[in-house]
């Protein structure tokens, strides 16, 4: 066993975890995920991603209590062979794109924002673009530019969200709020922890397509409201259950409301916080 120094991404508390060198070496996806429970380092639980050199590549707060809906999209996506799928080097993606960065970019896509990623390894530019194009191919439009540091001129990307590695260096509207990344984090965590590379890619694509379809349904519901009629969370959850045969939690519904308002540009006339809460009891 090897002791590794890790830092909590929430409170910056530091401590040691023990990992098996054999288990890390066997990790086919390039990184080994360790769930760090509350009380081991600090009061928070998080995931540490460790590469084969026993270096911590990323630490990632996730909500282990958040359940993502399990539905079959209208277009059933299966892990069948295809030139587009086979062209993506997932080992490189999982090893070089941090969990945080993938979650940040997904959030920017769901807010229909243009994105610049400044990246050091130019040989990965095409892989990165293919990866995000693939996971959103049946759902969200994606406008992502991957460039090197010497190609970046801030005045040329005035209306973009800009990332450099896993750092957010330009986000004028505060879209990348780490406190609101629960669903995105859960999707990315399961993507990274899926053992079979092809299945992990399909899982992430399906998760985004599910969010897109459910959001479209909410858009239709809102557009069908009478004048001054309000939206109640309980009613929306019931409608989604009836239409899509899916059970969702309130945090996931709030995630869908964000997509409706920021991607589809449809304002959701929510009822008061109190009446919304009482309606779900």
Model pLDDT for residues 161-209, shown as the tens digit of each residue: 999 988 999 999 999 988 888 899 989 988 887 777 788 888 899 999 9
Q: CA–CA separation, 72 vs 212, rounded Å?
A: 12
| Residue 104 scores a pLDDT above 90 | yes
User: Which pairs from 221-225 meet CB under 8 Å and 24+ separation?
Assistant: 222/260, 222/266, 222/267, 222/268, 222/269, 223/266, 225/269
Say yes or no to pLDDT of 75 above 70: no
- Are residues 254 and 205 located together in one domain of the fold? yes
- 67 lies in some domain: no
Query: Is residue 243 located within the same domain as residue 270?
Result: yes
User: Whole-model pTM?
Assistant: 0.84
Same domain, 235 and 166: no
Q: Report which of residues 167 and 66 the model is more confident about.
A: 167
Nearest to 20 by CA among 33, 7, 30, 6: 33
Kindly report, residue by residue over 201-247, the tens digit of the pLDDT: 888 999 999 999 999 999 999 999 998 899 999 999 999 999 999 99
Cα separation, 79 vs 90, in Å, equals: 14
DSSP code per residue over 160-206 = EEEEETTEEEE-TT----GGG-HHHHHHHHHHHH-SSHHHHHHHHHH
Final residue in a domain of this structure, among 118, 148, 178? 178
Asked if 223 and 266 count as a contact pair (C-beta separation under 8 A), the reply is yes
Q: Is residue 70 part of a domain?
A: no
- The range of the structural domain enclosing residue 38 comes to 2-61
What is the tally of structural domains in the chain? 3
Q: Is the pLDDT of residue 278 over 50?
A: no
How far apart CA 251 and CA 233 sit, in angstroms, is 11
pLDDT at 259: 98
């Amino acid at each position: 066993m090897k002791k590794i120094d890790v830092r909590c991404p929430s409170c910056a508390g530091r401590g040691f975890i023990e990992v098996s060198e054999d288990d890390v070496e066997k990790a086919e996806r390039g990184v080994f995920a360790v769930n760090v429970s509350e009380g081991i380092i600090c009061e928070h639980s998080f995931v540490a991603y460790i590469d084969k050199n026993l270096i911590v590549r990323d630490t990632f707060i996730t909500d282990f209590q958040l359940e993502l809906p399990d539905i079959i999209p209208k277009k059933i996506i299966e892990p069948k062979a295809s030139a587009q799928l086979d062209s993506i080097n997932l080992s490189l993606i999982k090893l070089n794109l941090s969990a945080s960065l993938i979650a940040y970019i997904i959030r920017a896509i769901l807010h229909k924002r243009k994105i610049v990623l400044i990246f050091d390894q130019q040989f990965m530019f095409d892989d990165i673009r293919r990866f995000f194009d693939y996971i959103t191919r049946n759902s969200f439009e994606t406008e992502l530019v991957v460039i090197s540091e010497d190609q970046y001129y801030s005045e040329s990307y005035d209306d973009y969200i800009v990332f450099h590695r896993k750092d957010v260096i330009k986000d004028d509207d505060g879209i990348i709020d780490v406190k609101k990344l629960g669903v995105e984090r859960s999707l990315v965590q399961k993507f990274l922890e899926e053992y079979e590379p092809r299945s992990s890619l399909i899982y992430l694509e399906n998760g985004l397509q599910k969010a897109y379809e459910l959001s479209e349904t909410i858009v239709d519901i809102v557009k069908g409201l009478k004048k001054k009629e309000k939206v109640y969370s309980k009613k929306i959850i019931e409608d989604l259950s009836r239409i899509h045969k899916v059970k969702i939690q309130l945090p996931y519904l709030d995630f869908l409301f964000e997509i409706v308002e920021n991607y589809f540009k449809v304002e959701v006339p929510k009822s008061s916080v109190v009446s919304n809460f009482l309606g779900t009891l």
